[in-house]
Structure 1
Amino acid sequence: MTSPPAKRQRTEDASITRSSIWYKDGSVVLQAHNTQFRVHWGLLSQHSTFFRDLEDLPQPPEQPAVDGCPVIELPDDEVDVEHLLKALYDPMFLLQKALPFPVIVAFLRLGRKYEFRDFFNTALERLTSENPTTLKAYDALRVDGKYDPTCIVPYPGVLYDILTLAREQKILSVLPCAYYRALTKHSRLFDGIPRGDGTVASLDFVDQRRCTLSRETILKKQFMPGYTLGWLQNWEFDEDDCAKPSKCASKRVQGQERYLLALNVRALAPDHHISGLCSGCKRHREESNQAGRQKMWEALPAMFNLLPMGRVEE
């Protein structure tokens, strides 16, 4: 006498939580840790080649099920899964001007892992928009002298979280700008920045070390000839074009002493004001400063020991 075929198990353990994302006509249940989401194979397959291929695989007889729907267990954070599924079912979700950082995290992690290319690219575009690969795009984010990105909902410490995520996901194009911005908050590199919710945004040791070592390099480089403040020490300007040679030279020396003593990272600062220069010297200062900023920008990846700007490691 043969035994009857094994019946599919029903995962209705008391410890399982049913998410608010639960469609009665759903055809598959995703389970992340102890949270289940009932969704549709068709929608998953439409956006993800991973789930498209998975749907075509024959289901084993012992496959757990809920109300006839196969249960697919995912080794991912249930919050990440929820963020992605909410975006999947809401066509207006991606139209938000600024997305919360946890959503960016979910899109990158799950987008890469399960081949949701549209979501991965959306997150990548927002990270790159806030940490661009060109000086022109970087300058466009400065409003009234302050850096003002708008694609990710801001909070104290979001820059550190972005930097950590970009390195975790090997999105190398974001790192030069993000590291440079972190240097402007050098006093918080080791203490972290309170987010305002009782937690602290902190950089990993490898990021702290890279920022600390690169800061000294950048401080020296910004004063070298051809770079942002190099004109202070190497004044390549025809004195015949200067209306007040003696006064302008004195003002330039005063500015040099001030910037050298301050020892602040100003490699990408858009202007370095020195009052009292004649119009010809002022124009030379502005042109030299802008050319130096561009050269400094192009040197950032090497100073942080990174790949050239624009490279994204898949």
Structure 2
Amino acid sequence: MVVQANTPLGHRGEPWFEDGNIVLLVVDTDSDTTVAFKVHRGVLARHSEIFQSMFEIPSPTLENVEMADGCQVVRMHDRPTELSALIRALYDGASFLHRGIEDFYNVAGILRLATKYFVAHLRREAIKYLLEIWPHTIQGHDRFIERAVRAPLVGDLTYPYVHPLHVLNLARETHVNIILPSVLYFLSLYDLADLLRADHPKLLVKHPSQPSSQMSPRDVKDYTLMYQHRLQIVLDFIRKGCSGREPANTCQSTTGRCQKGFIRLGTRLSQSWVPRIGPLHYMVQAVDHLGEDQDICAQCRRSFKHDTLRLRDKLWAGLPAVLGLPSWEELEKSDMAT
């Protein structure tokens, strides 16, 4: 006996292809309604072995084969908005943008299901999107800061519009490790008490694809490690990289002006830094400030810039190790190969 399941027209999802040969049914838990997607078995199956096994045609002699609109029914256990986004991406290709927080939720849904159903190319594209904002290179970090300074508000939210805690929880959920160091670096700029309250406006935006707003015990630990590491970078740079810096071997000053200039820079930085400061950007600001100090010779200014930029590269390269992770290169190889 074949059991027919009638799907109300009002609950047809997007996409719905009249010439489709399989119907996917999913329950929207928010409204307790069923949403149906009529698609082509072969289109989805060619992208995923999981789909291929799910869509195997049952024997016509089997009982209780659920049908709708003349097609076999497969019941899914996903969010309708995310399943819709995944299907449309499989048909039309993914389009990931940076216009506002809605764009993050779109990629979150696709990444979540691309991981679940082993759609490797969509997973890689989603990870590349995340890396454009949450970088794995020092150059990407600098572009992030520049965008954050220049980008206008969108819906009263500052760039990058999404809270790093949501990005962190999405990364944990989908096993994307390459963005963890930079996300936790930027997350460490937030006060822990505020994070535990989870009342930041970016965390209060409601969306079906919203990741958790709570910090796990593991991430409280990683946050603490990154927070302490970040502060230590600042203090070491002020004390050793500035106040305790010796003039260059080619210093052109014979009156000790350069030495005094470095001490002056260190004093100024020690009086202006705050716990929420980002040390990598702070170093660039120090280089710019010293470049304007004509009391320090050109050779010492040039040497300071060279050493500071090299230190930034070294610190960035060591960021994954703070969390006990392998190098950036190994993380990229692992995540982008899936």
Tell whether the structures are fold-level matches, with TM greater than 0.5: yes
CA-CA distance at 1:300 after TM superposition: 0.9
C-alpha separation between the residues in 2 aligned to 1:177 and 1:31? 38
CA-CA distance at 1:290 after TM superposition: 0.3
Are positions 1:162 and 2:173 aligned together? no
1:267 aligns to what?
279
Are positions 1:117 and 2:128 aligned together? no
Give the TM-score, by structure 2 length.
Answer: 0.76
Distance 1:228 1:252, change over 3 A: closer
2:168 maps to a residue whose letter is L
C-alpha separation between the residues in 2 aligned to 1:211 and 1:104? 24
1:176 maps to a residue whose letter is P
Distance 1:76 1:46, change over 3 A: same
C-alpha separation between the residues in 2 aligned to 1:157 and 1:184? 15
Is the 8 Å Cα contact of residues 114 and 120 (structure 2) preserved in structure 1?
yes
Distance 1:165 1:244, change over 3 A: farther
Is the 8 Å Cα contact of residues 66 and 72 (structure 2) preserved in structure 1?
yes
Are positions 1:189 and 2:189 aligned together? no
Superposition RMSD on alpha carbons, in Å?
3.3
Are positions 1:101 and 2:120 aligned together? no
Larger deviation, residues 96-105 vs 302-311:
96-105
Structure 1 residue ranges without an equivalent (≥5):
1-5
C-alpha separation between the residues in 2 aligned to 1:29 and 1:229? 66
Are positions 1:297 and 2:316 aligned together? yes
Give per-residue Cα distances to partners, 1:158-201, cap 9 Å, x unaligned.
43322221122121111111111222344753444213975598
Larger deviation, residues 197-206 vs 133-142:
197-206
Structure 2 residue ranges without an equivalent (≥5):
28-33, 152-157
2:30 aligns to what?
none
Query: Secondary structure of the equivalent of 1:189?
Result: helix
Larger deviation, residues 74-83 vs 272-281:
272-281
C-alpha separation between the residues in 2 aligned to 1:90 and 1:217? 44
Query: Secondary structure of the equivalent of 1:195?
Result: helix
Query: Secondary structure of the equivalent of 1:38?
Result: strand
Q: How does 1:51-62 map to 2 (within 5 A)?
A: 51-56=51-56, 58-59=58-59, 60-62=62-64
Give the TM-score, by structure 1 length.
Answer: 0.81
Are positions 1:12 and 2:16 aligned together? no
CA-CA distance at 1:241 after TM superposition: 1.2
C-alpha separation between the residues in 2 aligned to 1:147 and 1:118? 32
Distance 1:285 1:266, change over 3 A: farther
CA-CA distance at 1:81 after TM superposition: 0.3
Q: Which residue of 221, 231, 241 maps to 1:231?
A: 241
C-alpha separation between the residues in 2 aligned to 1:40 and 1:157? 34
For this pair of structures, how many residues does the alignment match?
301
C-alpha separation between the residues in 1 aligned to 2:49 and 2:146? 41
CA-CA distance at 1:205 after TM superposition: 3.8
Q: Which residue of 173, 178, 188 maps to 1:173?
A: 178
CA-CA distance at 1:154 after TM superposition: 5.5
C-alpha separation between the residues in 2 aligned to 1:198 and 1:243? 57
C-alpha separation between the residues in 1 aligned to 2:255 and 2:319? 35
1:3 aligns to what?
none
Larger deviation, residues 64-73 vs 188-197:
188-197
CA-CA distance at 1:25 after TM superposition: 1.3
CA-CA distance at 1:94 after TM superposition: 2.5
Task: Indicate the structure with greater helix content.
Answer: 2
C-alpha separation between the residues in 2 aligned to 1:18 and 1:145? 40
Is the 8 Å Cα contact of residues 80 and 110 (structure 1) preserved in structure 2?
yes
2:242 maps to a residue whose letter is L
Flag as ranges the 4+ runs of structure 1 deviating above 6 A.
13-16
Are positions 1:204 and 2:215 aligned together? yes
Identity %: 22
C-alpha separation between the residues in 1 aligned to 2:166 and 2:13? 27
Q: Which residue of 85, 88, 92 maps to 1:86?
A: 88
Is the 8 Å Cα contact of residues 232 and 256 (structure 1) preserved in structure 2?
yes
Is the 8 Å Cα contact of residues 184 and 223 (structure 2) preserved in structure 1?
yes
Larger deviation, residues 190-199 vs 115-124:
190-199
Is the 8 Å Cα contact of residues 112 and 120 (structure 1) preserved in structure 2?
yes
Is the 8 Å Cα contact of residues 191 and 202 (structure 1) preserved in structure 2?
no
Are positions 1:217 and 2:219 aligned together? no
1:135 aligns to what?
138
1:194 maps to a residue whose letter is P
1:213 maps to a residue whose letter is L
Is the 8 Å Cα contact of residues 23 and 36 (structure 2) preserved in structure 1?
yes
Give per-residue Cα distances to partners, 1:105-135, cap 9 Å, x unaligned.
1221111221222211110111122222221
Query: Secondary structure of the equivalent of 2:38?
Result: strand
2:257 aligns to what?
247
Is the 8 Å Cα contact of residues 111 and 119 (structure 1) preserved in structure 2?
yes
